[in-house]
Structure 1
Amino acid sequence: MISWIAEREEKRLSRLALAELTDDQLADIGLTPAQARREAAQPFWK
């Protein structure tokens, strides 16, 4: 159970960081702004 919680928290933090990236930074990692918004909008349990 603790590992599940830790994994969800890691995803949540990653998605928050993704939402903060600029368009140029997103392009560097191969994502469009729309893709980043979709991913950042996912609930933490997915």
Structure 2
Amino acid sequence: MKKAIIFCWLFLSSISCTFAVDCNNALTQGDMHYCADEEYKKVDKELN
């Protein structure tokens, strides 16, 4: 049970970190992927 609680806590804390990405200063590969995906979605919406 403790492992499940720890896993959920780690999962939820990683989600909150994802939303705090500064795309103007993305340093990690994960941040760059996130920013590229957000830019793709924005441009795709404009084109369609």
Q: Shorter chain as normaliser: what TM range? A: 0.5 to 0.7
Partner of 1:23: 23
1 CA distance for matches of 2:16 and 2:2? 21
What's the Cα RMSD here?
A: 1.8
Task: Name structure 1 gaps, 5 residues minimum.
Answer: 35-46
User: Greater RCO between the two (CA within 8 Å, min separation 6)?
Assistant: 1
Tell me the TM-score normalized by structure 2: 0.52
Q: Percent identity?
A: 9
Which of the two has greater helix per residue?
A: 2
Q: Which residue of 2 aligns with 1:37?
A: none
Structure 1 stretches of 4+ with a deviation exceeding 6 A read none
Gaps in structure 2 of 5+ consecutive residues: 40-48
- How many Å apart are 1:22 and its aligned residue? 1.8
Q: Distance in 2 between matches of 1:33 and 1:12?
A: 20
- Look at both structures and tell me which one has the larger radius of gyration over its CA atoms: 2
TM-score (norm. length: structure 1):
0.54
Deviation of residue 33 (structure 1)? 2.6
